[in-house]
Amino acid sequence: MPRVLMTGAAGGIGTSLRKLLPPIYPDLLLSDLKAPADLGKDEKFKAADLADMAQVEAICEGVDGILHFGGYSVEGPWDSILQSNIIGGYNLFEAARKKGVKRVVFASSNHAVGFYPRHHRIGTDVTARPDSRYGVSKVFGEAVGALYADKHGLGVTCIRIGNFGEKPLDHRRLSIWLKPEDLVQLCCIGLDHPDIHFEIFYGASYNERAWWDNHRAYELGYRPTGRAEDFREHAMAEQAKLKPDPVGDYYQGGTFCSMEFDGDESRIVDWSKR
């Protein structure tokens, strides 16, 4: 991919990828609502509000591939999710089509399927079970991506990101941890692999406790280098500081499932076996 646009450049993932991507994609254009405070002299940046179609079209001009990390990245009020992720997500794919972009890698999330119980191993073809308004917006983004792949021939990869960071933060994250360099591998597959039409990958490193079947990513060449169990002691020590959470500890989405959960814990059922 000659020219790559990365949205969400000032966010957590964007900040880390800004350092890892330039050796692979030297012609990298960064975008966010505001420029990152530490923007370097060699970095190219264009501000854009994802909810404004004209601004999104402007950042897609002359671009070959997009890494879409922009938008709201946690649970939030409906209007914020609506503007950033629903309207913003649609604008991104539509602007990509209009401007002749060839590939889009969409940062989906594990919260698109967060209401699967932890003991239930899932593939990428399961029915969506979002655990939040944020999760619903990720399901929406995946659906728009599928539409633009099937109808308009855009090559689309959705990465259901687990927990991105230098190490797994607690017991749950031992199953879903994603090392930054492994996310870079998944992005490169989405941007450059010749066989991409529409794909969904789980954004997870090599985690022995994984809940996810990620075989398609491996078929396309993914070889994660992160191993969550190497940080087991740290994760379990952090877990010991947390209060028990009957709902969050049962489902894959953790606290995203327990927040706003209405009262009755008898509703914690293994519906996946019904």
175 lines the binding site for ligand 15L (CB under 6 A): no
Q: Which of 7, 84, 91, 109 binds ligand 15L (CB under 6 A)?
A: 109
137 lines the binding site for ligand 15L (CB under 6 A): no
163 lines the binding site for ligand 15L (CB under 6 A): yes
Nearer to ligand 15L, 145 or 155 (CB): 145
73 lines the binding site for ligand 15L (CB under 6 A): yes
d(CA 270, CA 72): 30
- Give the H/E segment covering residue 183: helix 180-192
Give the three-class secondary structure for 201. Answer: strand
d(CA 4, CA 159): 17
Rg, the chain, Cα only: 18
74 lines the binding site for ligand 15L (CB under 6 A): yes
Nearer to ligand 15L, 55 or 73 (CB): 73
DSSP string, 42-97: T-EEEE--TT-HHHHHHHHTT-SEEEE--S--S---HHHHIIIIIIHHHHHHHHHH
Shortest Å distance, C-beta 44 to ligand 15L: 25
Determine the interface stretch with ligand 15L among 35-43, 104-112, 115-123, 214-222 (rule: CB under 6 A).
Answer: 104-112
Q: Give the alpha-carbon dihedral of 234, 238, 240, 243, to 10 degrees.
A: -160
d(CA 134, CA 78): 9
- Where does the chain show beta strands of DSSP type E? 3-7, 27-32, 44-47, 65-68, 103-109, 155-161, 163-164, 177-178, 198-203
Catalytic residue among 134, 148, 250, 251: 134
171 lines the binding site for ligand 15L (CB under 6 A): no
d(CA 11, CA 18): 10
Nearer to ligand 15L, 65 or 141 (CB): 141
Q: Which of 31, 85, 91, 110 binds ligand 15L (CB under 6 A)?
A: 110
Determine the interface stretch with ligand 15L among 21-29, 86-94, 103-111, 149-157 (rule: CB under 6 A).
Answer: 103-111
Whether residue 218 lies in the annotated active site: no
Residues 111-130 contacting ligand 15L, CB under 6 A: 111
Residues classed as catalytic: 134
In the complex, the residues that contact ligand 15L under the rule CB under 6 A are 73-74, 109-111, 161, 163
